Structure 1
Amino acid sequence: MRQITALATAGTLTLTLAACSTGDPQACTTGPDGAAADTITATGDFGSAPQIDFPTPLNSNGVQTHTLVEGDGPTAQDGQYITVDITLLKGSDGSVLQQTSYDPTSPTSFLFSGLAIPALKTGLECQPTGSRVAVTMPVGDAFPDGAPQGLTDDDTLVAVVDLVSSVTARAHGTVLPAVSGVPSVVRAPDGRPGITLTGGEAPDELKVATLIDGDGDETVAEGDSVLVQYTGVLWDGGTVFDSSWENGAPVTLAADEDSVIPGFAKAIIGKKVGSQVVAVLPPDEGYGDTEQGTIPAGSTLVFVIDILAIG
């Protein structure tokens, strides 16, 4: 059975990443420089596992940041969904504690506001994508509830982070007038949609309306890999059966009917990045006469979809 959600979900870094909702991007400043962070060097190409060197034992007086390679892309801040490669090291002896795959086909991606270590978030804030950044922080600051295995509260955590990409984690563009015949949508400050059903008989054909005309340069083509936020509810009763907002992060899916249910693919193909659409899917555009989890057989489905990025 074809699924609504992604073919492959974003990776996570056990020590550092957690999911939560996000707010709008806002003005910010980069983290503080410092003598400890300035001692760190990292050789190797951006996007590949670096060779990292610093004098040991390394002790950081608070959070310190040193930009090793300066990028020029969108910045890492609240309201953004970012992809990174990261190496975590122990300040006392330089040993590697954890490292992502540095494989572009298996990215580590998350909402910036969902970074579970506030000290690391402080160090990365407002750094542009394309940057390689060294961040040092006392373990006691990084993990106020207690050091994880392999570290003590007196140690220093060193992170070398390649900021690969950053996109706004909600629709962005021109808000269009409401369209009759489809559910109305309101948006929370973080972009999370609230859906009000119109009632009456469910339509017998696919209905798609653009709520926000995206200001991105790219348009979704059939077969594209697309990063989306979405909420799906049942026409009958309005029960939410799936939501990337509730699950904690956007998802990547293929815009074709072999990978996702037909109506979902049709709703996003031809739409610009940044757009938000509402789609009403009769059963033949969804799961037909087959029960799917909490979705009864023969259900009409309603989706609100934010198109965040392509590729």
Structure 2
Amino acid sequence: MRSSLALIATAGLVAVALTGCATAPEPAVAPGASSEAIEVTGDFGEPPRVEFPTPITPDETQCTVVIEGDGEPVRDGDTVRVAASLYDAESGEELQTIGFEDDAVLLTLNEGKTLAGFRTGLTCANEGSRVVVAVPPADAANPQTGQEPATGAVAVFDVMDVFPSRANGTPRLTRDGFPAVVLAPDGRPGITVPSSDPPAQTEVEVLREGSGAVVEDGDEVLVQYTGVDWQTGEVLSNGSTWATGGPTSFVVGDGSSQIPGLSKAVEGQRVGSQVGVIVAPEDGFGAGGSGEAAGDATLFYVIDILGVL
């Protein structure tokens, strides 16, 4: 499984931890003297040529659009697939270039996953944009530890793809007796399992119908999900991406890193859909169980299908 990625700026080192039409939101940051002083040339999707006077010392994160994309705007909480060139803002040293050779990386733009300067700086971009972000040390702190580097960072991002944090399809009615799902404002599902016995076979219902690409066997899909034990109604251990900080991905079909019921639930569905799946034991953890899920437990998952990678 590919994990979400967090680019973490430190003094002299940048580590990559492989981890419908709405009104575009206002970017969280704006251009400034520092970001405008950074000269970037070259074509989108190719490693850029970057020059800037040193040191770059913005008081707050700044972002300038170098190449304007015409795709979806980047919003806080989205997951983006990017290529990036990263530099020490004081010395001008190139620290890392990644993602331009079919190895674009995923960043989930929320607190705890991606450093603050990159998270806010990327909100000035659209899908297809190249942007330059100038980040002061205070916004370059390690998102896991809070450790602040001695110097800031300069980053050039090519935004290849933008994936929303939640399914955006049209709501659908479900049949009587199916678990009830209520969504929080951020899209996080609350699940109420009926007191009746579960069906003997795995069953799938579309809760929101998307309009994107159809998921096929062998696709790698980006999803959010929450899973509960049918008998107890309790969320499974490590059973919610909403609780662990962002989407995850898995390959659909044989050899998937997930239980078979999840592959069965998303295959044939459209990107943007949210599906509910009652997972029979043979498509779940089987007789052995897992964590707090007993052997032969029936499970229920709500899955938001965010994209095909």
Counterpart CA distance in 1 for 2:114 and 2:271 is 28
Instruction: Tell whether 2:105 aligns with 1:107.
Output: yes
Instruction: Tell whether 2:250 aligns with 1:250.
Output: no
Counterpart CA distance in 1 for 2:88 and 2:97 is 12
Which residue, 186, 190, 193 being the options, matches 2:186? Answer: 190
Which residue, 159, 168, 172 being the options, matches 1:172? Answer: 168
Q: How much does 1:35 deviate?
A: 2.8
SS at match of 1:14: strand
Cα pair distance change 1:112/1:84, threshold 3 Å: farther
Conserved? CA contact 2:204–2:265, under 8 Å: yes
Conserved? CA contact 2:209–2:273, under 8 Å: yes
Which residue, 222, 232, 240 being the options, matches 1:237? Answer: 232
How many equivalent residue pairs?
294
Counterpart CA distance in 1 for 2:173 and 2:184 is 18
Conserved? CA contact 1:26–1:78, under 8 Å: no
Conserved? CA contact 1:230–1:244, under 8 Å: yes
Counterpart CA distance in 2 for 1:277 and 1:287 is 20
Which residue, 56, 61, 65 being the options, matches 1:58? Answer: 56
Counterpart CA distance in 1 for 2:70 and 2:134 is 23
Which residue, 79, 82, 102 being the options, matches 1:81? Answer: 79
Cα pair distance change 1:103/1:231, threshold 3 Å: farther
Counterpart CA distance in 2 for 1:11 and 1:298 is 34
Counterpart CA distance in 1 for 2:58 and 2:124 is 21
Counterpart CA distance in 2 for 1:266 and 1:248 is 25
Moved more, 195-204 or 290-299: 290-299
Cα pair distance change 1:233/1:92, threshold 3 Å: same
Cα pair distance change 1:46/1:231, threshold 3 Å: same
- The two structures have a TM-score, normalised by structure 2, of 0.84
Aligned partner letter, 2:126: P
Aligned partner letter, 1:213: E
Moved more, 50-59 or 205-214: 50-59
Cα pair distance change 1:181/1:121, threshold 3 Å: same
Aligned partner letter, 2:299: L
Equivalent position of 2:301 in the other structure:
303
Counterpart CA distance in 2 for 1:181 and 1:299 is 18
Which residue, 269, 275, 278 being the options, matches 2:276? Answer: 278
Highest relative contact order (Cα 8 Å, sep 6+), 1 or 2?
Answer: 1
Counterpart CA distance in 2 for 1:101 and 1:235 is 42
Q: How much does 1:92 deviate?
A: 2.3
In structure 2, the gaps of 5 or more residues are 17-21
Q: How much does 1:278 deviate?
A: 0.9
Aligned partner letter, 1:235: W
Conserved? CA contact 1:230–1:303, under 8 Å: yes
In structure 1, the gaps of 5 or more residues are 1-6, 19-23
Aligned partner letter, 2:243: E
Q: How much does 1:17 deviate?
A: 10
Counterpart CA distance in 2 for 1:29 and 1:9 is 26
Which residue, 50, 60, 66 being the options, matches 1:68? Answer: 66
SS at match of 1:264: helix
Give the alignment of 1:135-214 within 5 angstroms. Answer: 135-140=133-138, 142-143=140-141, 147-148=148-149, 151-152=150-151, 156-214=152-210
Conserved? CA contact 2:85–2:155, under 8 Å: yes
Moved more, 64-73 or 114-123: 114-123
Equivalent position of 2:94 in the other structure:
96
Counterpart CA distance in 1 for 2:289 and 2:177 is 26
Q: How much does 1:283 deviate?
A: 0.9
Counterpart CA distance in 1 for 2:197 and 2:299 is 13
Counterpart CA distance in 2 for 1:141 and 1:263 is 41
Taking only aligned residues, the RMSD between alpha carbons, in angstroms, comes to 2.8
Which residue, 219, 224, 231 being the options, matches 1:224? Answer: 219
Point out 4+ residue stretches in structure 1 off by more than 6 angstroms: none
Q: How much does 1:190 deviate?
A: 0.5
How many percent of aligned residue pairs carry the same amino acid? 37
Aligned partner letter, 2:212: D
Q: How much does 1:262 deviate?
A: 2.5
Equivalent position of 2:19 in the other structure:
none
Q: How much does 1:146 deviate?
A: 6.1
Moved more, 193-202 or 129-138: 129-138
Aligned partner letter, 1:46: F
Counterpart CA distance in 2 for 1:243 and 1:30 is 28
Q: How much does 1:115 deviate?
A: 6.0
